Amino acid sequence: MKRKILYSLALVVGFSHLAGAAVLTGTDETAQLPFWEWHNQTISIRLVQRLPDQSRAFFAARKFSPADAERIAQSCVFQTVFKNIAAADSNTAVRYDLNEWQIDRNGTTQKMKLKEQWMSEWQQSQAPKSAQIAFSWSLLPTQQQYLPGDYNWGMTTYNLPPGQRFDLTLVWYENEQRRSAVITDIQCAPDVQISPPAGIAN
């Protein structure tokens, strides 16, 4: 039986403690899934839900075993876009290290599950080399620096079950000055099936 899941989040705008900063939530036009975005005059960070089924299919197609693809699917995956949106003449360099970001949920804190930990697991499980390379390229780099106009995207994983809600503390550096902000009440995608677009058979 087909089940169709529709997301209809109204756009919500809230202001953070940093001047000129805002948090946006809504439905991503491309993915048609919920997103959470924090931005100020210098950076923009957008997290877009990825359904577990999307991760299963994506990594199975890259020769991961069903068990390994399932491990990723159950790890709360977001497509993440990081941009330096500072004026071109500002010469504002931005860098981040995901080791400094923090997850808060139910009164406890934890770190994100980063590329280095995943790659160690894939080596231990003897995942195919081609699969390991594909996985490495699919994730957002753990550390990165951006000049004005630079941007990058990739998956980030939070090691939480589907549907879990959490707050995320972001840390970055603008010309080596440390900044931080919090995006509250982010939700991992639920583990649901969606109907294919009209005209495509199951």
Give the distance from CA 121 to its chain's centroid. Answer: 20
Nearest to 7 by CA among 59, 50, 39: 50
pLDDT mean by block of 10 residues, the chain; 202 residues: 33 42 93 96 97 96 95 97 96 97 96 97 94 96 97 97 97 97 97 64 46
Pairing mode, strands 43-49 and 34-39: antiparallel
| pLDDT (0 to 100) of residue 177 | 97
Nearest to 58 by CA among 115, 137, 147: 137
Nearest to 168 by CA among 70, 88, 64, 98: 98
Biggest CA–CA distance in the chain, Å, is 56
| pLDDT (0 to 100) of residue 138 | 97
| pLDDT (0 to 100) of residue 4 | 33
Q: What angle do CA 11, 103, 37 make, to 5 degrees?
A: 25
Write the Ramachandran bin of 135: left for phi over 0, alpha for psi from -120 to 50, otherwise beta: alpha
HSE-CB for 165 with a 13 A CA cutoff: 4
**C-alpha–C-alpha distance, residues 93 and 98, integer Å:** 17
**C-alpha–C-alpha distance, residues 173 and 37, integer Å:** 18
Residue ranges per domain, the chain? Answer: 12-187
- Tokens at 148, concatenated: 């004005």
**C-alpha–C-alpha distance, residues 30 and 75, integer Å:** 22
| pLDDT (0 to 100) of residue 22 | 87
Secondary structure letter of residue 87 according to DSSP: -
What letter represents residue 15's amino acid? F
